[in-house]
Amino acid sequence: MDRRETIKTMLLGALGTGMLINGCTPGSSDRRKLQDVYDFSSYGRTPEEKARDQRIFSDNFFTDHEFETVAVLCDLILPATATAGAASEAFVPEFIDFAVKEWPNQQEDFRKGIEWLDTYSKSKNGKDFIFASAENQKIILDEIAYPDKATEVTQAGVDFFTKMRNFTLTGYYTTEMGFNDLGYVGNRPNVWDGVPQEVLDDLNMSYEEEWLTKCVDQSKRNDTAEWDEDGNLLT
Amino acid sequence: MEIIKKRKEYDAVIVGSGAGGGMAAKILSESGLHVAVLEAGPYFDPALNENRSQLRPSWESPRRGASTPLRNFGDWDAAYGGWELDGEPYTKAEGTDFGWFRSRMLGGRTNHWGRISLRFGPLDFKRKDFDGLGDNWPIGYDDVKPYYDRVDKMIGVFGSKEGIFNEPDGFFLPPPKPRLHEMFYIKGARKAGIPVIPSRLSILTKRLNNDRGVCFYCSQCNRACQIYADFSSGTCLIFPAQKSTGRIDLFVNAMVREVLTNGEGKATGVSYINKEDGTEQEIKGKVVVMGASACSTARILLNSKSSQHPNGLGNSSGVMGHYLHDSTGTSRAAIVPELLNRKTYNEDGVGGMHVYTPWWLNEAKLDFPRGYHLEIWGGLGQPGYGFGFNTTDLNKHFDGVVGGYGDKLRDDVRRFFGSVMGISMRGESVPQFDNYCEIDPNVVDKWGIPVLKFNYKWTNYERLQARHSQETFEQIFDAMGAIPLGNKAGADSDYGLAAPGVIIHEVGTTRMGDDPRTSVTNSYQQLHDADNVFVVDGGVFVSQADKNPTWTIMALSIRTSEYIVDQLKKQNL
């Protein structure tokens, strides 16, 4: 199996068969992009914004090797759990691929960071990071994942990994999978009627009676407001 | 949609479609006048799906809602544009600072604003009487109260009757119940002896009329509401008045160059650039109403030079552009240990805080003259771009491990979700003659129109106020049992004071007054120098209280608009 096939297999293993739909053909311009995963054709943009998006979508930055490294790191940062998918299942690598085109000032940090990681991995294992064994990858990870343990040798790696972690978390928790893992249940029409009683009970808290009397009676929210001349609400 | 038929002469030509211009359009058209409204940006209606960002989840934006040069407050924010507009520069005098947020679109910045709708109180119109600084307004609270009352009933604002002298009550819709972090704030503020009351926002918690829906609590008022349950000028003023009167012609993508005047120095209309085809156009009116925003109005008037008005229209006093002032702002975040590992539920609520602290030290002896209010933020908000950045750093406060990956990382993210809250201060600055905008003689925009140059420095009044607020934040956090995050802003950073303009409450450039030598308009917002030109935006403010300016802009715009109708009837214009 050649190098590319190895990667492909590895990614397929992580991603499941969904990856097959768009393929993972060599050549950075053919790689699956964020806009292949999500429909960005209509999200309330002005003509200028649409043109700007198109420009970024058609751009390329990561080489295939860099993209693959980002993908491997994403899934080391957020592997699947019993209830939630891994980062790559939430298309975090594609998000980061987009992000470095959206924010070109990030590009050098990612490129240099990946270079550092490969150089470091080669010095320890004789291989680029993604080809190191899972065990050896973890040894390196433990050296760069904890800022308080950084040394002169690993500082650059720690800085890069912190950035990778930040972008992975943002890329993951801003997806449906991330919302579910987090328990975020907003962004939908509802009627707010205060903190749930069980939450208050757990914290031994309660609303002040005087405050509550000022608040909206949601059963009357559709009654048209009327006031007396002193501003007292009558409805 | 926009109507581009042009009458030979309008009764009134209104420049700008934000709070002031929109209200003038409504009042004047309802009084029988035919009006033209010119807006420099495109048409915008949040009810149109092609304009909608409300209720979109983060992943519908490739950058997960982050800002771009075309939309500085993020992909989901309703305001197009921001601090820099392509081809429309502004400059700053060396050693001074100013951020100018421009939103070119129908309704302007009312599409995204915080909806904090506070009346100025009796003290706010007459601060000079108490501290000897700046100037009093030529009018007082009693002059404006009837108009505030009408704005309350027309637009809708929730709040509570509190009987606080300088925070006048109005005709309120009922406020929503506090969120969890706000309950902690209430507890902490009470313990620290600082008052806290329900917030006052122009969001419909109850039905107001049949044109608009009732809030469905998505917390996204900054995205503009597709059912019109919050206030914006397009949805609540211009659209309904267009429909009911048929007397509003809307010209969008119309960039006004100058106000045209005749040999007697009276206005005859405006000239503008049709941005769609680049052509120069003119539009005639008996009256010109400027509502382009404090700085844009000053720019247009200063650029309207003629032999009768050699310093710009309305600038015989030389004070136009001067007394430019913005609200002050600082903030601090804290983590609330009791909110760690919290149960999640839909805590979106309305767009903005449910509780706030009005200024409480009018009677106290302090080392700075003017007050501030406190705004509260936090909760289980929708994760967007930036979510998770440096989250593990919060472990520092709990003997935990910073960094990591895998299950530990997921646990950290869940543990800290919704545990951070913050307080922002918004305060009153003291207007200064030496803080001003002027025409830059060397720079023009892409249509060849001379641009503004800003000269603005904070004084120690604002710095000391910011210092006081930083102490207040810690006092409240301490009483709440919350742990302040980051370092306390000190003298080296002006105590966290935002740069002038950044709070986007800039006002004062065409201030009102009884003396034509020291003011631009009279108390009816009529230019001293040209009686058929009026200003209905924040430019007329003599002083900006610690309160957000929009409610006052609208109250005054009603007052001015009715004065215009009256004066036209009497054939005085």
Tell me which CATH code domain B1-44+103-156+231-326+506-573 carries.
3.50.50.60
Cα–Cα distance between A87 and A75 in angstroms, integer? Answer: 5
Interface of A with B in 154-193 (CB under 8 A): 158, 161-162, 165-166, 168-176, 178-179, 181-193
For the segment B179-229, what is each residue's pLDDT rounded down to a tens digit? 999 999 999 999 999 999 999 999 999 999 999 999 999 999 999 999 999
Q: Closest Cα partner for B22 from B553, B563, B566, B568?
A: B553
Residue A21 domain boundaries: 3-182
Query: Is B183 near chain A, with CB under 8 Å?
Result: yes
Report the gap between the CA of A93 and the closest CA in chain B (Å): 12
Q: What's the mean pLDDT when you consider all of chain B?
A: 97
ipTM: 0.95
End-to-end C-alpha distance for chain A, whole angstroms: 76
Query: Is A53 near chain B, with CB under 8 Å?
Result: yes
- pLDDT for position A9: 41
Picking from A49, A161, A225, the nearest residue to B71 by CB comes out as A49
- Cβ–Cβ below 8 Å for B346 and A191: no
Q: Closest Cα partner for B381 from B422, B425, B433?
A: B422
Q: Helix axis angle, B141-155 relative to B550-569, nearest 10°?
A: 100
Pairing of β B279-290 and β B35-38: unpaired
CA-nearest residue to A206 within chain B is B183
What is the average pLDDT across B294-323? 98
Say if CB B540 and CB B6 are below 8 A apart: no
Picking from B175, B176, B389, the nearest residue to A166 by CB comes out as B389
C-alpha dist (Å) from residue A19 to A10, A80, A103, B268: 11, 16, 26, 66
Cα–Cα distance between B450 and B471 in angstroms, integer? Answer: 43
Tokens 């005054």 sit on residue: B556
Task: Report the residue of A35, A192, A209 to disrupt the B interface, i.e. the one with the largest count of B CBs within 10 Å.
Answer: A192
Say if CB B495 and CB B463 are below 8 A apart: yes
- Cβ–Cβ below 8 Å for A186 and B388: no
What is the average pLDDT across A124-146? 98
What is the average pLDDT across B65-74? 97
- pLDDT for position B318: 98
C-alpha dist (Å) from residue B423 to B183, B331, B336, B361, B383: 14, 6, 13, 18, 20
Looking at the domain assignment, is residue A114 inside a domain? yes
* Longest Cα separation, chain A: 84
Question: Which chain B residues are within 8 Å of A215, Cβ to Cβ?
Answer: 174-177, 198
- State yes or no: pLDDT of A219 exceeds 90: yes
Report the gap between the CA of A24 and the closest CA in chain B (Å): 21
CA-nearest residue to A219 within chain B is B206
Q: Please report, for chain B, how many H helices and E strands are present, in that order.
A: 10, 16
Q: What is the DSSP letter of B429?
A: P
CA B18 distance to own-chain centroid: 10
- State yes or no: pLDDT of A16 exceeds 70: no
Report the gap between the CA of B184 and the closest CA in chain A (Å): 9
Query: Given its phi and psi angles, is residue B321 left (phi above 0), alpha (psi -120 to 50 degrees) or beta?
Result: left
- pLDDT for position B4: 53
- State yes or no: pLDDT of B5 exceeds 80: no
C-alpha dist (Å) from residue B94 to B98, B231, B464: 11, 38, 24
What is the average pLDDT across B105-116? 97
Cα–Cα distance between A81 and A13 in angstroms, integer? Answer: 15
For the segment A96-128, what is each residue's pLDDT rounded down to a tens digit? 999 999 999 999 999 999 999 999 999 999 999
3-state secondary structure of B38: strand
For the segment B399-422, what is each residue's pLDDT rounded down to a tens digit? 999 999 999 999 999 999 999 999
Q: What's the mean pLDDT when you consider all of chain A?
A: 91
Residues in CB range of B455: below 8 A, 6 or more apart: B92, B93, B96, B434, B435, B436, B437, B438
Picking from B55, B214, B390, the nearest residue to A221 by CB comes out as B214
A29: confidence class by pLDDT, cuts 50, 70, 90: low
For the segment B115-131, what is each residue's pLDDT rounded down to a tens digit? 999 999 999 999 999 99
One-letter amino acid of B208 = L
Report the gap between the CA of A162 and the closest CA in chain B (Å): 7
Dihedral pair phi/psi, residue B399, rounded to 5° = 55, 25
Query: Is A198 near chain B, with CB under 8 Å?
Result: yes
Domain range summary for chain B, segments of one domain joined by +: 1-44+103-156+231-326+506-573
Torsion of CA B235, B239, B243, B245, to 10 degrees: 120
Handedness of CA B235, B238, B240, B243 (dihedral sign): negative
3-state secondary structure of A81: coil
Report the gap between the CA of A186 and the closest CA in chain B (Å): 5
3-state secondary structure of B290: strand
Cα Rg for chain A, rounded, in angstroms?
25
Task: Report the residue of A95, A98, A184, A191 to disrupt the B interface, i.e. the one with the largest count of B CBs within 10 Å.
Answer: A184
What is the average pLDDT across A175-188? 98
- pLDDT for position A30: 80
For the segment B539-560, what is each residue's pLDDT rounded down to a tens digit? 999 999 999 999 999 999 999 9
Looking at the domain assignment, is residue A115 inside a domain? yes
- State yes or no: pLDDT of B430 exceeds 80: yes
SS (H, E, C) B73-108: CCCCCCCCEECCECCECCEECCCCCCCCCECCCCCH
3-state secondary structure of B291: coil
Question: Which chain A residues are within 8 Å of B75, Cβ to Cβ?
Answer: 43
B270: confidence class by pLDDT, cuts 50, 70, 90: very high
Residues in CB range of A123: below 8 A, 6 or more apart: none
Looking at the domain assignment, is residue A210 inside a domain? no
* Count of domains observed in chain A: 1
- pLDDT for position A23: 39
Torsion of CA A101, A103, A107, A110, to 10 degrees: -100
- Cβ–Cβ below 8 Å for A214 and B174: yes
Cα–Cα distance between B505 and B534 in angstroms, integer? Answer: 20
Report the gap between the CA of B106 and the closest CA in chain A (Å): 13
For the segment B224-263, what is each residue's pLDDT rounded down to a tens digit? 999 999 999 999 999 999 999 999 999 999 999 999 999 9
Helix (H) or strand (E) holding B437: strand B436-444
Interface of B with A in 367-386 (CB under 8 A): 380-386
CA-nearest residue to B150 within chain A is A231
Question: Which chain A residues are within 8 Å of B179, Cβ to Cβ?
Answer: 195
The percent of residues in chain B predicted with pLDDT above 70, rounded, is: 99
Looking at the domain assignment, is residue A198 inside a domain? no
- Cβ–Cβ below 8 Å for B218 and A44: no
Half-sphere exposure of residue B427: CA atoms within 13 angstroms, side-chain side? 32
Interface of B with A in 126-165 (CB under 8 A): 149, 152-153, 156, 158, 160-161
Cα Rg for chain B, rounded, in angstroms?
23
The percent of residues in chain A predicted with pLDDT above 90, rounded, is: 87
Query: Is A80 near chain B, with CB under 8 Å?
Result: no
Cα–Cα distance between A14 and A71 in angstroms, integer? Answer: 10
Q: Closest Cα partner for B195 from B443, B45, B5, B374?
A: B374
- State yes or no: pLDDT of B327 exceeds 80: yes
- Chains A and B: how many Cβ contacts under 8 Å? 251
Looking at the domain assignment, is residue A220 inside a domain? no
- Cβ–Cβ below 8 Å for A185 and B344: yes
Cα–Cα distance between B344 and A195 in angstroms, integer? Answer: 10
SS (H, E, C) B374-415: EEEEECCCCCCCCCCCCHHHHHHHHCCCCCCCCHHHHHHHHH
Looking at the domain assignment, is residue A176 inside a domain? yes
